[in-house]
């Protein structure tokens, strides 16, 4: 890790590693010993590369312009930007949000059952209260996981759209494509790395 990672560890991370963001442990370990430099940052995945994001947005914008000409309406940039994100990403974010809402609603209900079991009898029965304690712990853990995954997905999507829009603007107003690709590429890499670090330490 001192000479920089060969590949992004997220691409080969296991299920539990993705849930807990433990694939970030390598760069966090380096950051605890020395200030992080650009060589320590993860390589950009192909789906997050500036050239691909800008190309996708430009293609969708041209399609939006053609559709608007046929329907005789004004083209809307937000519609083109929404189509840059895949349906799978939307479904994943929606699933995380739904499960977070369910666990967030079940937690006070489980606490109520736990308190009710304590007040229903004169003596505390550990056999009766233990399932509620375990349930509260499991629901709290699931709630934290789903919230972290949802926030991570939403913020990554936001950065991708922002990079695509900035890159498209630079491409339209700049005559040197190498300059804007270099700038936006570096912004994407730094932004995604800092996002992962912030999300790892974000309180729930």
Burial group, residue 162, by CB count within 10 angstroms (0-12, 13-18, 19+): middle
Residue 94 confidence (pLDDT):
92
The string of pLDDT tens digits covering residues 178-192 is 555 555 555 555 455
The string of pLDDT tens digits covering residues 14-42 is 888 888 888 888 888 888 888 888 777 77
Domain-located, residue 167: yes
Residues 117 and 179 in one domain: yes
Domain-located, residue 76: no
Domain-located, residue 49: no
Residue 35 confidence (pLDDT):
86
Residue 12's domain spans which residues? 1-43
Residues 93 and 33 in one domain: no
- Cα 159 to Cα 50, 152, 153, 186, 189: the distances in Å are 11, 11, 10, 13, 10
Residues 134 and 194 in one domain: yes
Quote the number of domains for the chain: 2
Domain-located, residue 173: yes
Residues 106 and 176 in one domain: yes
Whether pTM > 0.75 for this model: the answer is no
Domain-located, residue 57: no
């Amino acid at each position: 890790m001192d000479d920089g990672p060969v590949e992004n560890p997220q691409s080969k991370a296991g299920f539990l590693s993705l849930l807990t963001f433990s694939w970030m442990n390598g760069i966090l370990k380096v950051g605890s010993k020395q200030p992080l430099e650009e060589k320590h940052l993860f390589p950009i995945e192909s789906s997050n590369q500036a050239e691909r994001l800008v190309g996708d947005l430009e293609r969708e914008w041209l399609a939006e312009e053609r559709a608007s000409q046929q329907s005789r309406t004004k083209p809307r940039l937000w519609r083109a930007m929404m189509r840059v994100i895949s349906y799978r990403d939307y479904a994943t974010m929606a699933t995380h949000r739904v499960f977070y809402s369910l666990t967030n609603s079940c937690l006070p209900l489980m606490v109520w059952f736990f308190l009710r079991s304590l007040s229903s009898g004169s003596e505390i029965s550990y056999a009766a209260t233990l399932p509620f304690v375990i349930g509260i712990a499991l629901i709290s853990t699931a709630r934290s996981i789903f919230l972290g995954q949802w926030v991570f997905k939403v913020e990554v999507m936001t950065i991708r759209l922002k990079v695509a829009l900035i890159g498209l603007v630079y491409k339209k107003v700049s005559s040197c494509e190498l300059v804007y690709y270099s700038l936006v590429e570096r912004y994407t890499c730094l932004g995604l790395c800092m996002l992962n670090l912030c999300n790892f330490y974000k309180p729930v």
